[in-house]
Amino acid sequence: MTKTLSLTTPEPSDATARSVNAPEAAEPSRHPHRPVRSFVLREGRLTAGQERAFRELWPRFGVDWQPDRVLDPCALFGVAPPAGTTQPAAPVQPQATAAGFGAEQIARELASDATPSSPWSEAVQTSEQIEDGRPRTRPITLEIGFGDGESLAAMAAAEPARDFIGLEVHRPGVGHLLLALERLGLDNVRVLRADASALLASRLPAGSLDRVQLFFPDPWPKKRHHKRRIVQPGFIAAVARALRPGGTFHLATDWPPYAEWMLEMLDGAPELFVNQAGPGRYAERPASRPITKFERRGQRLGHPVHDLLYRRR
Ligand SMILES: C[S@@+](CC[C@H](N)C(=O)[O-])C[C@H]1O[C@@H](n2cnc3c(N)ncnc32)[C@H](O)[C@@H]1O
């Protein structure tokens, strides 16, 4: 038997979910119709292999998601959520958070380049590749901005009992990961070409994730660009909402001022997160985190790397 339904329209949620998801006010913009983004969409040519990956592998691993849809991570992997552990997402407007502003416009741009649609995009369409009968307790990791996806694929290979959802906006990076998944023969990864801020804003069931990973996000070093950093109070609240109690938020950066920014904001939300290394402290890199492509680049430039590990209350 196979399972259906990975995408559903949002429904009203209870007051608890709403309060954790309470959006911060969007920063006033000189261009009110232009979204504040944590990324620049670089065109980037696809290699022939990546072109093939989109044609042949996207239908197997890819998920077409739109900002007016809720993504049900459990259904995505062919298992139903354990009763009572998740709540439906609150119908928050995507533009309610600074980073999520203009989500529909961003989604249109991300979808504009003829990515073949995947069976996952049809809410009641299920894929032949989905095996049923997995335990309902398989934990789910969400990785935001996986770059070329090599470290995500390595983690998924090392932890076959865990499911992974990768988010990235850069098309060649998505193609690269699809090829890695094929090469390693993995079936515990799903891939979205989507803006993480929009998805997290309210489009994941509360408490549905076990771990969220944010490795080497763009540091936006200039002060006038700090508002483009993905780590903001509204983003932190959205991550907290999507994580189960006791779940993990793991961040890493090679830009010390961004590390301080992350530490200050996350330690500043003690009602949501507990710093695993102790207040004001960075964590050791867990052996389970492979060195990423951007980390290697940072190392060549002599940048120190900081890991931050938080437990969801
Ligand atoms: C500096 S790179 C790091 C990539 C990878 N994590 C690594 O360590 O090699 C940051 C990545 O995050 C992606 N990104 C930035 N904002 C994003 C967002 N809102 N949603 C999804 N991906 C995003 C960018 O496209 C870029 O590939």
pLDDT in tens, 270-303: 999 999 999 999 999 999 999 999 999 999 999 9
Query: What domains does the chain contain, in order, with CATH numbers?
Result: 42-80+89-312 (3.40.50.150)
Model pLDDT, residue 77:
79
Mean pLDDT of 72-79: 73
> In this predicted structure, which of 91-100, 113-122, 268-277 has the lowest mean pLDDT?
91-100
- Rounded CA-CA distance 250/258 in Å is 14
What ligand 1 atom has the least distance to the C-alpha of 99? Answer: 19
Mean pLDDT of 39-45: 84
Give the residue numbers annotated as catalytic, written as ranges: 218
CA of 134 to the centre of ligand 1 (A): 31
Mean pLDDT of 142-164: 97
- Mean pLDDT, the chain, as a whole number? 80
Model pLDDT, residue 69:
81
Model pLDDT, residue 4:
31
CA of 104 to the centre of ligand 1 (A): 19
Model pLDDT, residue 264:
98
CA of 295 to the centre of ligand 1 (A): 12
Model pLDDT, residue 8:
52
Among protein residues, the one whose CA lies closest to atom 12 of ligand 1: 145
Among protein residues, the one whose CA lies closest to atom 23 of ligand 1: 145
Assign 243 a pLDDT band (cuts: 50, 70, 90).
very high
Which residues have any ligand 1 atom within 6 Å of their CB?
Answer: 38-39, 144-147, 167-170, 173, 195-197, 215-218, 230, 292-295
Among protein residues, the one whose CA lies closest to atom 27 of ligand 1: 147
Model pLDDT, residue 105:
74
- Rounded CA-CA distance 229/97 in Å is 13
